[in-house]
Structures are given as structure tokens and as C-alpha cells.
Amino acid sequence: MLARSGNIAVTQLTGRAFPGLHLQGDTFAAAYHSLSEAAVRLRAEGVTGEAIDDLEYTLGELRDKLRFYEETLAANDIRLPYFLDGGATPHAGDG
């Protein structure tokens, strides 16, 4: 770890030329869901065009990263630090 501030850190992975940004999973999930909800509202308001398409593409990329995080925790029997889809109970490794 090169530096840490709150829920984020700058880390250097072995074999990588540049450091990465480590963001806590629950912080990442909250940001993803906020952006996703904003995109849904924009579409509902009739916003169309390249900008909203780009936003939805980026959200898909972020969703893939969040899914990887969730699957990794589940595979290691680690409970998610947040609830999926506003549910009442965590989903990964909660049994």
C-alpha cells in the first residue's frame, strides 16, 4: 500500500507498472447504485443520445467489476458488506 485515505488506498500490484486505486467494496457498490439510479431517471425523463448511451456502457463495465467482487467474496465464504438490490439480508456467504 502506497497511501490510504478513509475507504480508499493507492496500491501497487506485483507485475504492474502503475499503482491502482483500491476502493472498499461497499463504497464502490454505493457509487455504482447511485449512478445506475441516475441513469434510470434520465431515461425515464426521455434523455437519449450518446451521453446516456456512454453512461450505460460505463455502468455495465462497473457492474462487471462489482460482480467479480461479489463472486470472489461468495467463493471465499465472506459476507457482503452491503445488501443486494435493497434486500433485507446480505447475500454472499451468509449461511
- pLDDT band for 84, please (50, 70, 90 cuts): confident
Give the pLDDT score at 91.
Answer: 47
Type and span of the H or E element at 4: strand 3-5
Q: CA angle 58-62-65, nearest 5°?
A: 145
Give the pLDDT score at 87.
Answer: 44
**Mean pLDDT computed over every residue of the chain:** 89
Residue 36, SS3 per DSSP: helix
Express each pLDDT in 32-63 by its tens digit.
Answer: 999 999 999 999 999 999 999 999 999 999 99
Q: Residue 90 pLDDT more than 80?
A: no
State the cell numbers at 14.
506485483
Span 9-37, average pLDDT = 95
Give the pLDDT score at 85.
Answer: 67
Q: Residue 93 pLDDT more than 70?
A: no
